[in-house]
Chain A
Amino acid sequence: MADDRGLLPSEQPVRLLDETGSPVAGAALPFPAKERLLAAYASLVIGRRVNDQAGALVRQGRLAVYPSSHGQEACQTGAALALAEGDWLFPTYRDTAAVIARGVDPVEVLTLLKGDWHAGYDPYTHRVAPQATPLATQMLHAVGVAHAARLRGEDTVVMALCGDGATSEGDFHEALNFAAVFRTPVVFFVQNNEYAISVPLARQSAAPSLAHKGVGYGVNAERVDGNDTPAVLAVLDRAVAAAREGGGPQLVEAHTYRMQAHTNADDASRYRGKEEVDPWEARDPLLRMEAYLKRKRLLTKARRAEITERAEAVATAMREGVSKDVDPDPAELFAHVFSTPTPQMDEQAAFLADELSREGD
C-alpha cells in the first residue's frame, strides 16, 4: 500500500465522530462499512458488560483483582476486529475485553485473575499471547512472532498492545527499533489512558505525543481519538493493511482515559479529582457509537435486542464459570516446569503428595 503520510502522526488525533456522535466534516479516513460498524457496536456492548461483570465478581470475592478497561472499549474492540484469523494479538493485563472479543473463552481468560493458574487459555487456539503483566516485555515477543512468520513467507500481522506507562520501558523502544530494522509486520497499539497507576502522562513523556516516538525509529505513526470507535477501527484497519503489505511496523496511539482506578486495589481519589474524570463520561465510546447508529438509523430494535442478549450470555458464562470452585491440582505445580520433569521435580512432587496423604492423620 502506498503510504505517503510520512513518519510523523497527524497533528490532531484522527476523528470520524465528534463527542455527540455526529460525523466530523473532512475526516481523514472513510467510515468502515455498515456491517463492520454493527459488529464493532456489538463488541463495545459486550466489552462493557465484561468489565461490569468482572467488577461485580471482584466485589463478590470471586476474582482476586480486575484491571478494568471501562471507557476503553473502543480500543479493545478495534484491536480484536482489525486482525484476521491468522494474525496474532499480544495483550496486557488490562486487555481482557479484547482477548474475549478475539474469541477466547471468558472463563479461561479470567483463570489468571481468579488465581487458579497463570495464563488460562491456549495461546495457539486463537493466536492470543498470554496477557502480559510485566510492562512492554511482550512488545519484543510480538516482533519475534511476526519476524518468524515473515521468514516463513506468511502474511501474518501481529498487534502488540500496551499503555502509556509502558512506553517508558526500554523494551518498548527496543521493540520499535527491531521491528523497523527488520521491517517486521507489527502494529504497536498504545492505549494512552493518561495514567500509569497514579502517575499522569505528563510525568511519563515530554514528547508532543506518544505516537511521535515512532519517528526516531523509522516507524510510521498515527494518533486516533480512542473513544471514537469508527476512527479507531479505520486507523487500525489501515495500519494492519500497511503492515501486511510490507509497509513495515506501524505505531498507533489512541487517546482515551482510564475511567476507573488502576484495579480494585487502587484508590484513585489519592491522585485525581472528580472534576478531571467527569468530562470523560460525556466522551464515553459506547454512548457516542449508539448516538451515531441511531442518527443513521443503522441499529434496528431487533439487532439491538440480539446484541444485548449476546452480552448477557457472555456475562452469565463468566458468572457461572468463575463462581465454580475449582480445586487446582497441586501435582500440576511440578508438571510444566520443564518439558520432561527432572529427577528433582519428581522427588519434590512425591514429597508434596506424601505430605498431603498424611494430612488429617
Chain B
Amino acid sequence: MEQKNAKGWLYLLPAIAFLGVFMVYPLVDVFVYSFEEGYNSASQTFFGVGLYNYSYVLHDPYFLQALKNTFLLVIITVPLSTGLALLISVGLSSIQKLKDLFQTIYFLPYVTNTLAVGLVFMILFKRTPYTDGLVNLMLHWFGAGPIDFIDGPHWAKMFVLCFYTIWVVMPFKILILTSALASVNQDYYNAARIDGTSRSRIFFRITLPMISPMLFYLIITGFIGAFKAYSDAVAIFGTDLNAAGMNTMVGYVYDMLYGDSGGYPSYASAAAIILFAIVLTITCINLMVSRKHVHY
C-alpha cells in the first residue's frame, strides 16, 4: 500500500509541479502584488501595503477607456453574435444539400491565426493616401463615406473591432448550436407539424426552450470571452492600443506589465483582479438568470 501511494503521486508529480509553479503560486502572488504599494521590479522592494494600486488603476484614464471599450464590445458582440449564430444554425439545420460544405466554410475562422487575418480586416477597412480601401468603395456605391475605420472616429474603430470579433467567435457558436439543434428529437417537430404549429411558434415554443441550456452556455462563455478580448484589437489597431484609444482591459494589464508603458506588475495585478471581479459577477448573474429560464 505504501508503495502504491508513492506510485500514484509519482505519476502526478509533473502535473502538480507545473500547475504549482505556473498556476497556484501565481494565483496567490497576484493578490500579493496587487496590495504591495510602490513595488519596484528592479530592486524587488516595496514600501507599503494597501489599496493604492487599485485606486491608481481606477483613476487612470487609460484604464477607464479600456473599461468603456470592453463593456461596449461585450454589450454589442455577445447578443449580436449569439443571435446571428442562432439564425444561421436554424437555417443550416433546415437544409440537406450543401450542408457539409457550409459547415466547413463557417468553421474556417476558428482555425485561422487571429493576428494574421486581423491584418486582412485592417486592410479592407483602412484608408490610405493611395486608396480608400474596399469597404469605403462599397460605402461609396451606396453614396456614403469615406470613413477612416482604422485611424478615424472612435465609433468607426469600435465598429471594425466588433465586426472582427463577431467574425472570429461565430464558428464556435454555430458549431455548438447546430449540434444542439440536431440533438432535438425529430418527433417533437413532427408532433408540432401534425398540430399545424406555425414556424415561428415552433421556433419560440419548442426549439428555443429545447436548446436553451446550450444557448445559455454560449452566452456565458461569450461574456467571459468578450471580457478577455485583446488579440483581436491588436490585430487591427497594432500593439499601441492606448494611443489608438482602443485598448481593452486585458490589453491594459499587459501594457502595465510590459512594453513602452510597462514595468508595473502591481498595477497590472490590481487591474487583472478588477477585471475578474467583474467577470465573476456577470457570470453569477448569468447563472442566476439561466436557472430561472432553463426549465429542465
A and B interact: no
B positions within 8 Å CB-CB of A = none
